Chains A and B, each alone.
Chain A
Amino acid sequence: DVKVTQSSRYLVKRTGEKVFLECVQDMDHENMFWYRQDPGLGLRLIYFSYDVKMKEKGDIPEGYSVSREKKERFSLILESASTNQTSMYLCASSFIGNLNTEAFFGQGTRLTVV
């Protein structure tokens, strides 16, 4: 079974803190993604990566950065957390290429910024 594991299910952080969300996948997938889910807004893409050391901005990258030092690990960094970054964060991974393939999601991290 494909497994995408996010380091925390729930996090509470203070405004201005630097926050790290970690994601690890065990299927040797090339692609990794970070989305956030908010009520009424669906899943919005923050950043994605096609390979180690590579990163691409998604639709809402402002206030975030990412790191991919190893193929299996993709980290999302909130440089200075703000209350509007309170959300459910979802990591996903998939195979690369033009194959029709689904993305597999982690269990999500519910982040609250106070």
Chain B
Amino acid sequence: DQQVKQNSPSLSVQEGRISILNCDYTNSMFDYFLWYKKYPAEGPTFLISISSIKDKNEDGRFTVFLNKSAKHLSLHIVPSQPGDSAVYFCATHSGNTPLVFGKGTRLSVIA
């Protein structure tokens, strides 16, 4: 059973517009949520995170929203840039457990 679901395998967005990537999770014990970005032939790099005590966290063009009642989080990128084209993974854990990852969403930002 998938504990973390990213239901959109891919997303295309025009440069300058907003990109919204979505993630759903099943376990209400998860208390820390992260987004990673991955380019081909490289390891994932940490992008932004949010604790379960918050519902929003912003870092420059990147904002993560958490809706605990719906067990849903989203990553907003505004404005989107061609360099944002990558695979984005949602991940989560609780306490000192390993990160559990979604299957990823491939974002293409078109110039």
Contacts and interface: CB of A to CB of B under 8 A. Distances in A.
Interface of A: 4, 9, 31, 33, 35, 37, 40-45, 48, 50, 58, 90, 92, 96-98, 100, 102-108, 110
Contacts of B44: 43, 90, 105
A31 B95 CA distance: 12
Which of A9, A43, A107 has most B Cβ within 10 Å?
A43
Contacts of A107: 42-43
Interface stretch (B12-20, B45-53, B59-67, B73-81): B45-53
Contacts of B101: 35, 42-44
6 contacts: A33-B99, A35-B101, A43-B44, A97-B96, A104-B46, A108-B42
Interface bin, chain B: 20 to 34
A76 to B, nearest CB: 14
Nearest to B5: A42
Interface string B28-58: 0001101010100111111001010000000
B89 A43 contact: yes
Contacts of B6: 42
B43 A42 contact: no
